[in-house]
Amino acid sequence: MTKFKFLNADDFFNNLLTIILFFILIFLLVFSVLFGKINLIELLLSDKSNDVKELIRVLILEIRLPRTILALIAGFSLGICGAAMQGLFRNPLADPSIIGVTSSAGLGSVIIFYFGLANIFFFALPLGGIIGAIIAVMVIFFIIQSNVSTLVIILTGVAISSFSSALTSLTLNLSPSPYAAYEIMFWLLGSLADKNLNHVLMITPITVLGWIIIIFSKKWFTALSLGEETAQSMGLDLRIFRSKIIIGSALSIGSVVSITGGIGFIGLVVPHLLRPLYNYNPEKLLLPSGIGGAIMLLLADIFIRLLDINPELQIGVVTAIIGAPFFIYLIFYIKRIQA
């Protein structure tokens, strides 16, 4: 039956777009590894000694690769979780950083890290972030119940963010390390700098598990866009679905934040830009949002490395400079379509 030829064409266009995004991502990954303060190619051409080879090995393996993979994982998580939460709350403003999940994940990580609990076992630090994230989402659900009005979501997010930020600051002040108090910037704005492969190994399995949980429940996002009751009448067990999305997002966001700090707005900007290209279909939007999030974070990271400001800019500064005006635009957009 090909009465509506464009429908199949739509699918074709969507898949093509996803493949294009994927190739852009690959290009950026390679660029991110090759690009930096040290010009690899020049170095290789000028000197072929073993010393230089060793230097390049350490440079790629210990500095550039961890940073690049971290940008990929963090960006993908922020993008896919943004799309998932917007699907769950049926609201385009439900971004992990707006609703306060990022900052409370930061609080959980800070408590574990600065009191020296991170070495208890390998995944202790991400676990702190995950617990923080879960608490935030639970509080949001408790407060908003099924009232998903935009205002309530934003206000709840503001309350949770301020509260977690304050407690983060308090924890840093109470920490025995004299450096801690100056590290609030990292936790509030995030950074990908100076991380090593161990950090990447610590969060990758947990984060990817989060993505899988979200992607496996994807068909219900479309059902949910027709309303909670309609979705339930279609066979959705809302409580189980909610728990899956909360746990999936908390696993991803919580562990990412525990290593990169709170990078905001990616989950807000990326799904919104891609949504019309995927016919507003919330389930088709998940994977592209992940890829798009990784692209945006890699671009932001390459940008701050290009800027060459010393000390390096926090990456959250760049995402917020793009994201915050976008957030205001979105509020107007929502006002317009609701009117």
Partner 1 sequence: MDRVSLDIRKKNILSEINILFRSGVLTGIVGPNGSGKTTILKIIANILTTYSGSICYNNRNYKKYSRLDLAKKISYLPQEITIAWPLSVYNVIMAGLIPFPDKELNNKKKDKRVNSIIEELNLKKFALKSVNILSTGERSRVCLARALVGNPNFLLADEPVSSLDPYYQLNILELILKRVKSGMGAIIIMHDLDLARRFCDNVVVIRDGKVIFNDRPHISLDNKNLKEIFAVEYDGNKLILS
Partner 2 sequence: MYLVAIINTLNANNITAASINLCTDQYLYLIANKNQITSLSYMSKDKNISFISDKILDIKLNNGRAEEIIRQDPDIIFAGLGSSIATVSLLQKLNYKVVNISDAKNFKQIKEQVYLIAKLLHREKKGLELVNKIDNEIKKFFNYSKRKENKKVIIISPNGYVTGEDTLVGGILKEIGYTNVTSNLNISSYGRISLEQILYSDPEVVIIEDSYSDSVSLSQEFLNHSVIKYIVKKGEVLNLNKKLMNCSGPYSTKIIKELIK
The residue to which tokens 């991803």 are assigned = 252
Question: Do the beta carbons of residue 79 and residue 290 sit within 8 Å?
Answer: yes
* 183 is a contact residue toward partner 2 (CB under 8 A): yes
Binding region for partner 2 (CB under 8 A) out of 32-40, 207-215, 246-254, 327-335: 32-40
Residue 15 interacts with which of partner 2, partner 1, none, CB < 5 to 8 Å by class: none
Q: Closer CB to partner 2, residue 10 or residue 183?
A: 183
User: How far apart, in whole angstroms, are the C-alpha atoms of residue 280 and residue 325?
Assistant: 22
Q: Which residues within the stretch 51-80 sit at the binding site for partner 2 (CB under 8 A)?
A: 55, 58-59, 62-63
Question: Do the beta carbons of residue 301 and residue 35 sit within 8 Å?
Answer: no
Site size for partner 1, by CB under 8 A? 30
* 147 is a contact residue toward partner 2 (CB under 8 A): no
- Listed residue (135, 123, 259) closest to 193, CA to CA: 259
Question: Do the beta carbons of residue 302 and residue 28 sit within 8 Å?
Answer: yes
Among 186, 221, 278, 326, binds partner 2 (CB under 8 A): 186
* 280 is a contact residue toward partner 1 (CB under 8 A): yes
Contacts of 156 (CB under 8 A, 6+ apart): 99, 100, 139, 140, 143, 144
* 241 is a contact residue toward partner 1 (CB under 8 A): no
Question: Do the beta carbons of residue 206 and residue 77 sit within 8 Å?
Answer: no
* 47 is a contact residue toward partner 2 (CB under 8 A): no
Alpha helices in 115-226 (DSSP H): 124-144, 150-174, 184-189, 197-216, 219-224
* 37 is a contact residue toward partner 2 (CB under 8 A): yes
Assign 296 to helix, strand or coil.
helix
* 224 is a contact residue toward partner 1 (CB under 8 A): yes
x-or-dash string of contact with partner 2, 274-313, rule CB under 8 A:
------------------------------------xxx-
Residues in the chain: 339
- Listed residue (313, 324, 319, 327) closest to 299, CA to CA: 319
Residue 224 interacts with which of partner 2, partner 1, none, CB < 5 to 8 Å by class: partner 1
User: How far apart, in whole angstroms, are the C-alpha atoms of residue 78 and residue 74?
Assistant: 6
* 306 is a contact residue toward partner 1 (CB under 8 A): no
Residue 63 interacts with which of partner 1, partner 2, none, CB < 5 to 8 Å by class: partner 2
Residue 44 interacts with which of partner 1, partner 2, none, CB < 5 to 8 Å by class: none
Q: Closer CB to partner 1, residue 3 or residue 37?
A: 3
> In the complex, which residues of this chain contact partner 1 (CB under 8 A)?
1, 3-4, 6-8, 90-91, 219-220, 222-227, 229-230, 232-237, 275, 279-282, 337
